[in-house]
Amino acid sequence: METPYQNHIDKADFDHVYEPSEDSFLLIDALEKDLEYVKAKNPTFCLEVGSGSGVIIGAFGMAFPYTICMSTDINFKACIMTKQTASFNKVILDSVNMDLASLFIDKKFDVIIFNPPYVVTATEECRVNDISDSWAGGVKGREVTDRLLHMIPKKLADHGVLYLLLIEDNIPVEVIQIMSMYGFKSETVLRRRVRNEQQLVLKFYK
């Protein structure tokens, strides 16, 4: 998978929108590693939740030009940047200013991608309406992630797949247990140590 062109982004814009980092590129690498699996699903709809700069959904859209790509972000400036990234890379995409995936109809998406705010912080550091919303994850670094997990059974198509990035501090085994209660199997697609963090991408499917 190609990494999208990003030279259209002014460096100052990253004062307000999460700048692509090692976690972003790990997710792209995980999707590339699982490319044949995704191709076999012939996805019609793909959603990235919390798209930030749009580099991940942009890479997906470039690899799957016939898939209808959508993204959400609670940060309106991130929605604009995602749309620009898609446009510069000739990806057709709708970017929606929305909390997670709350307003979409059920059972719509064949692929959902989420690189959540995963840093362990105090609860009050979440949802303060600034750039910290892109990384502050609250207790266990999972307060936002867990909210999405409970939406997935409704928003993911029956044959769909979720790709989720976590760090070890998020206690991935608990995430696997939550999804197992909803009938999902899981696999670790890719794992990488970045400085003092062990990052991993899990996929969930039935």
In a domain, 6, yes or no: no
By residue range, what is the domain housing residue 192? 11-205
Q: How many domains does the chain have?
A: 1
Q: Which CA distances in Å does 151 have to 90, 101, 123, 147, 167?
A: 30, 8, 21, 7, 21
In a domain, 1, yes or no: no
Pick from 144, 111, 131: nearest CA to 27 = 111
In a domain, 3, yes or no: no
Check which CATH number belongs to the domain holding 46 and give it.
Answer: 3.40.50.150
Contact between residue 162 and residue 189 where contact means Cβ atoms under 8 Å apart: no
Full pLDDT tens readout for the chain, 206 residues: 888 988 888 888 888 898 899 999 999 999 999 999 999 999 999 999 999 999 999 999 999 999 999 999 999 999 999 999 999 999 999 999 999 998 898 899 999 999 999 999 999 888 767 788 898 999 999 999 999 999 999 999 999 999 999 999 999 999 999 999 999 999 999 999 988 889 999 999 99
In a domain, 139, yes or no: yes
